[in-house]
Amino acid sequence: MANEDLSSKVAINDPLTDPTQKAIIDQIIEENKTRPGATMVVLNELQANIGFVSEEMQQYVAEKLQVPVSRVHGVISFYSFFTTTPRGKHTVKFCMGTACYVGGTPALIEKAKQILGVEPGQTTPDGNITVEVCRCVGACSQAPVIVIDDEVIGRMKPNRLPQELKKIQIVTE
């Protein structure tokens, strides 16, 4: 039973099993496969149009472009703007610029981990919140800064984090 649940979840998360998304993926590959640097161009377009590049998509791209899958993996892991899982509905970013880092970002990330159970680069299992780190957002005088969706929130403290996250969390009890 548990296995069945898992496989249906994986299928939902795999754009290659969705006819509309697969058509988009095929079109992107078709339009770009003969360009110089096709691997990078295709992956970039997939990230922009599908929102992430799953393991299955990476294998599919490698097959279609006839390049080693290790090269595709290499590109995906080298550039931080690629994500391999669907993004959450909301995004919480922690500024890792010097002022924020020194001002306490690591403690904020630790607190977020306790509250949400995920680390930067991951999304909560309910698909609601993606946690990320980011570069300086230009609000250093208010360090440490977090960005929830598009809202920059300065002078953040670990004990203030729960109330900020509550605004976007799905309450299930």
**Contact region with ligand FES (CB under 6 A), list: 53-61, 72-80, 116-124, 131-139:** 131-139
Instruction: Tell me if 99 contacts ligand FES by CB under 6 A.
Output: yes
**For strand 90-95 and strand 129-134, is the pairing parallel, antiparallel, or unpaired?**
parallel
Q: Indicate which single residue of 42, 65, 95, 116 sits in contact with ligand FES (rule: CB under 6 A).
A: 95
Residue by residue, DSSP assigns 109-125 as HHHHHHHHS--TT-B-T
Q: Indicate which single residue of 42, 65, 100, 165 sits in contact with ligand FES (rule: CB under 6 A).
A: 100
Task: Count CA within 13 A, CB hemisphere, residue 98.
Answer: 0
Instruction: Tell me if 76 contacts ligand FES by CB under 6 A.
Output: no
Distances (CA, A) of 145 to 46, 122, 124, 170: 30, 19, 21, 23
Instruction: Tell me if 129 contacts ligand FES by CB under 6 A.
Output: no
Applying CB under 6 A, the residues found at the interface with ligand FES are: 95, 97-100, 136-140, 143, 145
